[in-house]
Amino acid sequence: MRNFSVLVAILIVLPSLSNAQLATTPPMGWNSWDSYGLTITESEFKQNVDWFNAHLKSSGWRYVVIDEGWYLARPDQADQGYTLDANGRYIPAVDRFPSADQDRGFRLLVAYVHSLGLKFGIHIIRGIPRQAVERNLPIAGSSYHATDAADTSDTCRWNHDNYGVKDNAAGQAYYDSIAKLYASWGVDFVKVDCISQPYKKAEIHMVSAALRKTGRPIVLSLSPGPTPLEDADDVTAQAQMWRISDDFWDVWDRDNTSKGFPQSVVHQFQLLSQWERYAGPGHWPDADMLPFGWLGPHPGWQQARQSRLTPDEMRTVFTLWSIARSPLVLGANPTRVDGATEALLTNREVIAVDQHSTGNKGWMPTPTTWVWTAQATSAEGEYVALFNVSDAPLEMNYAWRDLGLPAGKHAARDLWLHKNLGTSGGVRVTLAPHASVLYRVE
């Protein structure tokens, strides 16, 4: 009997230990929303995955995520055609994902992604489908029904597909049921929307617990923000990623009347600096997707277009995300990524800053400049990033000691140019508007 008790204790602990090892570095991947919105099909997804595999995987990119609406048969029509199973859980619409017709799920598509050495993710809106509640469908693995779990007074402010879930045993049973379903498909990543702002603490805890119970290592990403800073300790214990802002798009700056949407490049600096101390293995403040390249054919915001970010602005975004250790999630249509954008995304020296640095710190020495520093953990030296956030060229001049490095001369390397700059007592550089530099200093 004693040995049986020990075995039970081990089995209970194992899922927690597995999940504790999730996202030891910021996740890197691609998400369909910025280019496809609700509309991506299986064939389109595979085309993007194939390019991603051939061009980005070798630089450390791993996750491929189908965003919102994979359960809609007709996402571009008024009658969207929700697809549910007998237990009130969304399943892929076979009109758009034909392989789902064989197994009522994503197993075959996940197997394809895994065969390439990649990881598969999906997006969901928090809560339980309205149709499941209207039909009072049973909750798998329990004696409860949908009406036992649903909080019909609570819906997402921009998506009314679901009701919120009560903080009770039935609510936990529902989240357990969908987590078990996703684990059976082989899902590696779940992005839960409409849950961080306002901060839905009870549902976050239920989702997190449900994923841990599966025993499968599934990264939990919470969206959108801004996640409240006062909930930082809680969110770091529950999720591997959480959004620090509302949706980020290809906008350098925004006027003060837009109330946070869309989030712009300029407004991410302060938020990232505030969240920096909460970044670490297994828990990463998320500055959102990278809206680079072609955003089409059906982007999640506005019309299909080439990203409005200039080459300097894209480099600045990638530099900031990297030295602040945000997850790196591409939003572009991979099948239309040009050579310059691919070179940016595969710069391993810059990616190393995101994946292998510590002590990251950002500050604003003047109203038009930002400075970020960090210690390298996979190479010698320290990282220094300088940013010109003004609309005019700007000279920046610092002694190394002004940036927290030991006084004296140090060797520096420009990580974007892959160029050694020699030994000096500091840095003097003129940056174009919205431009940046990133150095490793020994």
Q: Which domains does the chain have, with CATH numbers?
A: 22-355 (3.20.20.70), 363-441 (2.60.40.1180)
- At 20 the pLDDT is 53
Neighbouring residues of 390: CB distance < 8 A, sequence distance ≥ 6? 368, 369, 433
pLDDT of 15: 44
Tell me if 167 sits within 8 A of 204, measured CB to CB. Answer: no
What the block records as the tokens of 415 is 């990580």
Return the percentage of the chain with pLDDT > 70, whole number: 95
pLDDT at 256: 64
Query: Could you tell me if 79 and 94 are in contact, meaning their C-beta atoms sit under 8 angstroms apart?
Result: no
3-state SS, one letter per residue, for the chain: CHHHHHHHHHHHHHHHHHHHCCCCCCCEEEECHHHHCCCCCHHHHHHHHHHHHHHCHHHCCCEEEECCCCCECCCCCCCCCECECCCCCECCCCCCCCCHHHHCCCHHHHHHHHHCCCEEEEEEECCEEHHHHHCCCECCCCCCEHHHHEECCCCCCCCCCEEEECCCHHHHHHHHHHHHHHHHHCCCEEEEECCCCCCCHHHHHHHHHHHHHCCCCCEEEECCCCCCHHHHHHHHHHCCEEECCCCECCCCCCCCCCCCCCECHHHHHHHHHHHHHHCECCEEEECCCECCCEECCCCCCCCCEECCCCHHHHHHHHHHHHHCCCCEEECCCHHHCCHHHHHHHCCHHHHHHHHCEEEEEEEEEECCEEEEEEEECCCCCEEEEEEECCCCCEEEEEEHHHHCCCCCCEEEEECCCCEEEEEECEEEEEECCCCEEEEEEC
- Residue 423 confidence (pLDDT) above 70: yes
Is the backbone peptide bond immediately before 433 cis, with ω within 30 degrees of 0? no
Position 435 pLDDT exceeds 60: yes
Compute how many other C-beta atoms are within 10 angstroms of the C-beta atom of residue 132.
28
Mean of per-residue pLDDT scores for the chain: 94
Residue-wise pLDDT for 217-249, tens only, equals: 999 999 999 999 999 999 999 999 999 999 999
Rounded average pLDDT over 113-123 = 98
pLDDT in tens, 291-349: 999 999 999 999 999 999 999 999 999 999 999 999 999 999 999 999 999 999 999 99
- The predicted model scores a pTM of 0.94
